[in-house]
Structure 1
Amino acid sequence: MHEETVYDALDHAHGGEGHWAFGTGFDEPLAGVDTTVPDGVDHADLGTYCLMLGDDALVLAQRLTQWVTAAPELEEEVAIANVALDLLGQARLLLARAGSVDVLGRSRERASASIPDEDALAYFRDADEFRCTALSAADNGDFGQTMVRLLVAATVRLAVFARLRDSRDPVLAAIAAKGVHELTYHRDHAARWVLRLGDGTAESSRRAQAGVDAVWPLLADLFTATDVERRLAAAGVAVDPADVRAEVHDVLTTVLDRATLRVPPWPADAPPRGRLGEHGPELVALLETLQGLARQHPAATW
């Protein structure tokens, strides 16, 4: 039978469900994973923690897609898009886990019943319901600053995910086991660019150093645990961000030293405002772009 478009073909091949983006024969990464919440773990805490990790990935992915058609090299546009897709995949799994334990906030009231929980959380929460850090939400700056931010974000996230593989929550452990491979590439890709820019021309070095100086203050709240993180870390489910500080410090210092860039003083710890839903106007503007179409057509299917 002749199909009008490739999308029609994909749709018919999978029962006409219309969700071809996630239904085209790709393996389900959590197939066979026990989704039971471990004994003694508060559902609300687990869901909130998944929002923290999921929102970091979702918001940073959206930031990275702003470089598509604007990156300095065509191959780099593809690489950045692939990093963003990896992060979107992590966000999807983490937000779905949050939804599975009924941590949905006001999103479920705004979204139609046909919309999956992870989509409701992505598209129908306001900025004060997001739990991402300022590092993820900050504007891109120039390309050098973007690569420095990606280096920091991937280094922190990789250190956390490496430890989360031993989480008592089987879902978090499975997501982390898949994510460490992706995050290793993200970190190494960003590190290569920081080395190339920092130890390149006078102009590229100047821009890379300016990127470091702009990003460094955003480290202030990355290692301050919320009460939720402390409780879940004590229960063997989550990672206390303070536990990855030394590893992150060593990796970042090594990369910047080799890139002949000056390592700024490590910022003093600050309250984790982003984890508590306190954000600047840059996140509001980003969400207007991310959520605009879904909110205009809340009952649409794709």
Structure 2
Amino acid sequence: MAHDPAVAEAADSKPCAAYLLGLADDAMVYAQRLAEWMTNAPQIEEDMALGNLALDLLGQARALYPYIGSLDGTGRGEDDFAMQRSERDWRNVHLVEQERGDFADEMARLLWFSAYQVELHTALTGSTDEVVAGVAGKALKEVRYHLDHASLWVVRLGDGTEESHRRMQAALERVQPYLPELFDDDEASVGAAGRGVGVLPSSLRDAAVNRVASVLEQATLSMPEPSKWRSRGGRAGIHSKPMGYLLAELQHIARSYPGAAW
């Protein structure tokens, strides 16, 4: 049978598409969660700040979705990925889909996710794929600010009153079970890393933990012990209960008026 270069190239690009879909879905879902803080944050300035962080993450997802559609051969665009997929087709980690808790919960989640993203996009600026490297270069500037923003609040709450310290420490404990999943290597990440396009999540763990540990030390907070239960399966499309409700709200208009132009 004759070797078809086009078929070989398409097969070679699918692991990279699957890997990038996980990153894009992380950003898209967390953008939706952060946007829920509009009018709910403790001060007006924070409403705007978290809204802007959500827009940064939305931009990261939008930059990747059309490229993923070209890699996987489907030709899907950003609206197809964001609005037309069912829950089992999403590849985000469980951390970003969890319901909005109190403000301390959000700062704990944002601190960890931003520390992870700083290491991720720092590594991806060296990707052999020019599109991935370009998206990472822009995203890195944004997520460094996200990390600074979360760090300031964690220190402010942790080293504040007795009540704010207690609630910030409790928030770190609640977030902890969802953290190991960020650094799990799966088939897609191994394939993308092997091609020089992506990076193994496990290789980011130590640096991300060190970043968070430095913030917690300033905040007089303790790093939580590993929990007996931890989340799994997000990269394989297995999600927690909040995900279905999130998608129902995110996709309601697009699914109610199929084919509408925005």
Q: Same fold (TM over 0.5)?
A: yes
Task: For 1:83 and 1:209, locate their aligned partners in 2 and report how far apart those are by CA, in whole Å.
Answer: 23
Contact kept, 8 Å, 1:50 with 1:97, in 2: the verdict is: no
Code of the aligned partner of 2:240: G
Task: For 1:128 and 1:151, locate their aligned partners in 2 and report how far apart those are by CA, in whole Å.
Answer: 27
Task: For 2:234 and 2:254, locate their aligned partners in 1 and report how far apart those are by CA, in whole Å.
Answer: 24
| Displacement of 1:270 | 6.2
- Aligned CA-pair RMSD: 1.9
Which residue is 1:244 aligned to?
204
Q: Identity over aligned residues, as a percent?
A: 41
Q: Are 1:172 and 2:132 counterparts?
A: yes
Which residue is 2:35 aligned to?
65
Which residue is 1:143 aligned to?
103
Which residue is 1:134 aligned to?
94
Q: Are 1:95 and 2:55 counterparts?
A: no
Q: Moved runs in structure 1, 4+ residues, more than 6 A? A: 268-271
| Displacement of 1:45 | 1.1
Matched ranges for 1:1-302 at <5 A: 42-102=12-72, 117-266=77-226, 272-302=232-262
Code of the aligned partner of 2:43: E
Contact kept, 8 Å, 2:178 with 2:231, in 1: the verdict is: no
What secondary structure does 2:183 align onto? coil
Which residue is 1:8 aligned to?
none
- Assess, with a 3 A threshold, how the Cα gap between structure 1 residues 270 and 40 changes in structure 2: closer, same or farther: farther
| Displacement of 1:48 | 1.0
| Displacement of 1:102 | 3.3
Structure 1 unpaired stretches of 5+: 1-38, 109-115
Task: For 2:96 and 2:192, locate their aligned partners in 1 and report how far apart those are by CA, in whole Å.
Answer: 22
What is the TM-score of this pair, normalised by structure 1?
0.81
Contact kept, 8 Å, 2:90 with 2:237, in 1: the verdict is: yes
- Assess, with a 3 A threshold, how the Cα gap between structure 1 residues 170 and 71 changes in structure 2: closer, same or farther: same
Contact kept, 8 Å, 1:144 with 1:208, in 2: the verdict is: yes
Task: For 2:194 and 2:250, locate their aligned partners in 1 and report how far apart those are by CA, in whole Å.
Answer: 35
Task: For 1:103 and 1:226, locate their aligned partners in 2 and report how far apart those are by CA, in whole Å.
Answer: 22
Code of the aligned partner of 1:95: Y
Task: For 1:102 and 1:242, locate their aligned partners in 2 and report how far apart those are by CA, in whole Å.
Answer: 25
- Assess, with a 3 A threshold, how the Cα gap between structure 1 residues 101 and 219 changes in structure 2: closer, same or farther: same
Task: For 1:68 and 1:44, locate their aligned partners in 2 and report how far apart those are by CA, in whole Å.
Answer: 37
Rg larger for: 1
| Displacement of 1:219 | 0.9
What secondary structure does 1:239 align onto? coil
What is the TM-score of this pair, normalised by structure 2?
0.92
What secondary structure does 1:42 align onto? helix
Task: For 1:269 and 1:171, locate their aligned partners in 2 and report how far apart those are by CA, in whole Å.
Answer: 37
- How many residues are aligned here? 255
Task: For 1:147 and 1:91, locate their aligned partners in 2 and report how far apart those are by CA, in whole Å.
Answer: 21
Task: For 1:268 and 1:209, locate their aligned partners in 2 and report how far apart those are by CA, in whole Å.
Answer: 18
Structure 2 unpaired stretches of 5+: 1-8
